[in-house]
C-alpha cells in the first residue's frame, strides 16, 4: 500500500471510529494520518513518530499558518473530562493537513 492509500485508509478508520462513538480512537487515527502526510511530504522527517512530526510542522514557518495551527491542535491533550481545549474538529484538522500537504498547498501566507 502506498503512503497516500495508507493515509486515506487511516482517515477512513478515524471517521468509522467516530461513528461508533470512539472519539479517542478517532483522534489517534486522525493524528496518525496527518503525521504520515508530513512524512510523505517531507521525506527527511520520515523516521519520526506522528506526534513529533506534527510538532515539527507546527514550528515550520515555511508552512501556511492554518496548517501549523491545525498541527498544534492535533498535539493538544484532552482534559479530565476528555474534552479538547478548543472547538475545532481534530478530523477536520487532519484532513486539512493531509489535503494541503498531498496537494502541495503548504507555502506560508
Q: How far apart are CA 40 and CA 98, in angstroms?
A: 10
Q: Looking at the domain assignment, is residue 14 inside a domain?
A: yes
Q: How far apart are CA 11 and CA 103, in angstroms?
A: 16
Please report whether residue 50 resides in a domain.
yes
Q: Which tens digits make up the pLDDT trace of 60-89? A: 999 999 999 999 999 988 777 777 667 788
For the segment 5-63, what is each residue's pLDDT rounded down to a tens digit? 999 999 999 999 999 999 989 999 999 999 999 999 988 876 789 999 999 999 999 99
Indicate whether 60 belongs to any domain: yes
Q: Which domain does 54 fall in, by range?
A: 3-103
Closest CA to 6 of 46, 33, 25: 33
Cell of 58: 507546527
Please indicate, yes or no, if residue 108 is contained in any of the structural domains: no
Q: Is residue 62 included in any domain, yes or no?
A: yes
Please state the domain count of the chain. Answer: 1
Amino acid at each position: 500500500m502506498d503512503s497516500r492509500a495508507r493515509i486515506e485508509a487511516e482517515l477512513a478508520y478515524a471517521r468509522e471510529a467516530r461513528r461508533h462513538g470512539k472519539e479517542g480512537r478517532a483522534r489517534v487515527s486522525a493524528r496518525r494520518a496527518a503525521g504520515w502526510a508530513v512524512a510523505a511530504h517531507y521525506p527527511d522527517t520520515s523516521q519520526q513518530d506522528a506526534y513529533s512530526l506534527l510538532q515539527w510542522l507546527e514550528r515550520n514557518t515555511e508552512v501556511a499558518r492554518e496548517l501549523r495551527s491545525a498541527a498544534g491542535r492535533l498535539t493538544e491533550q484532552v482534559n479530565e473530562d476528555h474534552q479538547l481545549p478548543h472547538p475545532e474538529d481534530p478530523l477536520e484538522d487532519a484532513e486539512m493537513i493531509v489535503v494541503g500537504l498531498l496537494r502541495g498547498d503548504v507555502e506560508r501566507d
